Amino acid sequence: MMMMMFLHFSLQFLLHPLLHFLFITLITCLALKILKSLTTTTTTTTTTIHRSRVISNYPPGSDGFPLIGETLAFIAAHNSSKGFYDFVRTRHLRYGNCFKTNLFGGTHVFVSSVEVAKALLGSESVDFPKRYIKTVATLLGEESLLCSSHEHHKFLRRQIASLFTLDHLSSSVRMFDELTVETMRVWKEKRCVIVLDYALKITFNAICKMLLSLEDDNEMEALRNDVSEVTEALLAFPLRFPGTRFNRGLKARERIMDTLREKMAMRRNGVECKNDFLEHLLAKDNPDSAESLTDQQISDNILTLIIAGQVTTASAITWMVKYLDENKEVQDKLREMQLEIALKNSDTPLRLETLNDMHYASKIVKESLRMATVVSWFPRVALKDCQLGGFQIRKDWIVNVNARSAHYDSTIYDEPMKFDPSRFDEDPKPYSFLAFGAGGRTCLGMNLAKEMMLVFLHHLVTTCRWEVTDADPSLEKWAMFPRLRSGCPIRVIPIN
């Protein structure tokens, strides 16, 4: 009986958010005691270790506590209003442009250097393939394009690239144009809206129509909620206990996989037939073909494309609206140009040719992407001991190319804290603009994301003016990609 009561109490303890926090705090205190006992080691041993590190010339930094490293500090930053990048920023200030730390049981090196970015991203070195932390690979799937090995990535990329051909891009622009026009109509009626909420909705609807031809509102809402759970769990502590963020993410992934398996079964049985990305992949369904994808490869990469296509683009759109509110002169100049374009194309949806003529708007998109830096860094794993940027890197260490640091480097960008689209009058220095990565793993959806931002921007400035009603810069807790906690609420002023 006492054992049953103990188990019941333990389960309730872990499920309650406040008690769960206290439990983590207790574990932290215990780790501190262990660390304190370890620091009583003799001075001779400490000096020997220190000399060894100097001779080896490893990057500066801290390994944190035994076993868990600095994971708790990373998670604490992730659960704060400053976001997880604050963990990296403070260490860059402390140690310089290259430092190492221990996260989730592995050694991570963060480096901010155009030269290192070129070395790791430019040629997609086989000695430094891409690798995210284990929680990301677990939730997206081992067959995800983001988590695949060098050779496997090239195979998957060939299959998935068909979604981003010129014909598909034109079709996607027309679809997103319709969704944006409808959104602007709603905004004019409501007058007060949360930008992020609508950006997430229209980008999600667009990507799901492209991939799966989803139309049913209930089905879309269920899938959207599950994708949100997965996204929030990507950088959570990997505890599989009921009620934990990571476990909720795993359950949501299972439901998404069940939905996708059901969709594939219906297509194969002829219950439904659509002209979309899933249909294109299933058309290659031949066990004897080397180009055929398994069901798991299809499912993992559709989930990856939904998250990459929705969350990152919606976050970038929200930041863009905020930056333009803070820079009225840029907004007014843009509006004047876009109204001229609108007069010439008043009776037709936006086309790729029209978007290609939006030169100033394109610079605003790039500057928004630079300042927002939605993807903060790009991870690569060392397959052997080597030298990088003047430091020794050990095999299996993960080296993260710090895009945010590069985007705010005053030696690369003049006045980097200033929103200035004119800095893109000329192409930036190679490997200094990393909004979509670089090299062989440059984001496949780069052009689609930029076109979607241009479409939204055009209709926004030609339909209304706006004022942000909550200027709080705090970030949303647990967000994989930095976004405003407020969601960027605005008061809409229609243009007559």
pTM here is 0.85
Of 7-21, 337-351, 393-407, minimum mean pLDDT range: 7-21
Question: pLDDT (tens digit, 9 = 90+) per residue, 222-278?
Answer: 999 999 999 989 888 788 889 899 999 999 999 999 999 999 999 988 888 888 889
- CA–CA separation, 98 vs 485, rounded Å? 30
Average pLDDT over residues 275-293: 78
In the numeric block, the tokens 């602007």 are attached to 184
Is 60 exceeded by the pLDDT of residue 24?
Answer: no
Is 70 exceeded by the pLDDT of residue 329?
Answer: yes
Q: Which residues contact 306 (CB under 8 A, 6 or more apart)?
A: 204, 207, 208, 211, 223, 227
Mean pLDDT for the chain?
Answer: 85
Is 80 exceeded by the pLDDT of residue 124?
Answer: no
Q: Is 156 within 8 Å of 145 (Cβ atoms)? A: yes
Is 70 exceeded by the pLDDT of residue 218?
Answer: yes
pLDDT at 48: 39
Average pLDDT over residues 451-459: 97
Is 80 exceeded by the pLDDT of residue 359?
Answer: yes
Average pLDDT over residues 106-114: 93
Other Cβ atoms closer than 10 A to 301: 25
Which whole-number Å values give the CA distances from 246 to 72, 239, 250, in the listed order?
Answer: 15, 6, 6
Look up residue 451 and give its amino acid: E
- CA–CA separation, 215 vs 111, rounded Å? 44
What per-residue string of b and e applies to 47-83 under the rule 16 or more CB within 10 Å gives b? eeeeeeeeeeebbebeebbeebbbbbbbbebbeeebb
Average pLDDT over residues 419-445: 92
Whether 443 has a binding-site annotation, put simply, is yes
pLDDT at 162: 75
Of 2-11, 76-85, 121-130, 412-421, minimum mean pLDDT range: 2-11
pLDDT at 347: 66
Q: Which CATH class is domain 150-494?
A: mainly alpha
Look up residue 94 and give its amino acid: R
Helix/strand/coil percentages in the chain, nearest 5: 60, 10, 30
pLDDT band at 428 (very low <50, low <70, confident <90, very high): very high
Other Cβ atoms closer than 10 A to 493: 11
Q: Is 495 within 8 Å of 465 (Cβ atoms)? A: yes
Is 60 exceeded by the pLDDT of residue 46?
Answer: no
Q: How many helices (H) and strands (E) does the chain have?
A: 19, 9
